[in-house]
Amino acid sequence: MRTLWVIMLVVLQASAFEYGLKPSKVSEDIYCFFGKPEVMDKHNNGNMVNSCYVDMGSSWLVIDTGPTYLYAKEASQHMRSIKEMPVKYVINTHIHDDHWLGNGYYASLGAKIVGPSLFTAEIDLKAETRMQKRILKEAFLDTVPTLPQAMVEEEMVLHLAKGDVFLYLAQERAHTESDLFVTIPSMDVLFGGDLIFNDRIPSLRDGDINGWLSVLDMLKAMKSKIVIGGHGDKSDTHAFDLTYDYLFELRQEVKAAIDDGIGIDEAVETIKMPAYAETHLYLMMHRQNIEVAYRMLEWDDE
Ligand SMILES: [Zn+2]
């Protein structure tokens, strides 16, 4: 019996952690690893976020690198079996750690990593990340928080074989203080990062409800045929719907409560928005979103 345990232990140690990732083909040139509609935990190990690959002709462009080194490595192995070419550029849409902790792997391949400004100001590389605290040690193995080498202050253009890639910094606080979105006009695609959630209740914690809605108005007006967010696997123009409609209704409800003299605690208890009760993470996110929106909107009329 003891021998059996020893053998099992050796086998476990020898086999590296695997996510079991599978790329989804979104269009001729675009593949995404779509994450689960969950928060990071010891079951999904951070596979709750999107990471996308774009065939730019002679290199892959990666949009968001996922939660860990091993995730990035596994994703990249899949993509190299589809087309053997290097990853030249990597884009981080924002500073939340599920979107960029895979950077270290791509940096080791020599890729150039680009992210929004404020990255350096807001990230303490020595601090333990949320991801590290919440997932299995073996999944986090070899993950070294690695910052982008280039920051986008307003906009940037990458000239690549299959077309120009435009990176824009949202000009208002929206999902976070510093959100990048990416368009590739030759492919009619928009990558919105976490400005777009379409499988779970969005998180307003670090954002601004007015700024977010106004940035979404601008993104919708671009009329891209393919729209890909940071969470969720919808990739047509309906990709916007959940985030936009939810935030729009939330703002309306919270404003009405403030106008009626309803206090923040009561607003948190009474604004139910039942149409979203079945949406993933409603119980975890909705009350917090009401609170954040309320604190922001109560200053609006003054
Ligand atoms: Zn985020």
Distance (angstroms) between ligand 1 centre and the Cα of 262 equals 30
pLDDT of residue 8: 61
In a domain, 287, yes or no: no
In a domain, 117, yes or no: yes
Distance (angstroms) between ligand 1 centre and the Cα of 195 equals 8
Q: Is the pTM of this model over 0.75?
A: yes
In a domain, 79, yes or no: yes
In a domain, 247, yes or no: no
- Give the tokens for residue 56: 């730019």
Closest to 283 in 3D by CA, of 297, 298, 273: 273
| Spatial distance between the Cα atoms of 246 and 125, rounded to a whole number of angstroms | 34
Q: Name, in order, each residue with C-beta under 8 angstroms of 263's C-beta and a sequence gap of 6 or more.
A: none
Distance (angstroms) between ligand 1 centre and the Cα of 26 equals 22
In a domain, 14, yes or no: no
In a domain, 58, yes or no: yes
Distance (angstroms) between ligand 1 centre and the Cα of 40 equals 12
**Domains: count for the chain:** 1
pLDDT of residue 121: 74
Give per-residue pLDDT as tens, 218-243: 999 999 999 999 999 999 999 999 99
In a domain, 7, yes or no: no
Distance (angstroms) between ligand 1 centre and the Cα of 105 equals 20
Distance (angstroms) between ligand 1 centre and the Cα of 58 equals 30
Phi-psi region of 262 (alpha: psi -120 to 50; beta: other; left: phi over 0): beta
Give per-residue pLDDT as tens, 90-118: 999 999 999 999 999 999 999 999 999 88
CATH classification at residue 84: 3.60.15.10
Distance (angstroms) between ligand 1 centre and the Cα of 194 equals 5
| Spatial distance between the Cα atoms of 31 and 159, rounded to a whole number of angstroms | 20
Distance (angstroms) between ligand 1 centre and the Cα of 87 equals 23
Strand intervals (E) in 22-162: 24-25, 30-33, 51-55, 60-63, 87-91, 112-116, 150-152, 155-160
Closest to 21 in 3D by CA, of 42, 52, 55: 52
- Give the tokens for residue 130: 């949320």
Domain limits for position 224: 19-239
Distance (angstroms) between ligand 1 centre and the Cα of 33 equals 16
10, pLDDT greater than 80: no
In a domain, 194, yes or no: yes
Alpha-helical segments (H) within 205-263:
209-221, 241-259
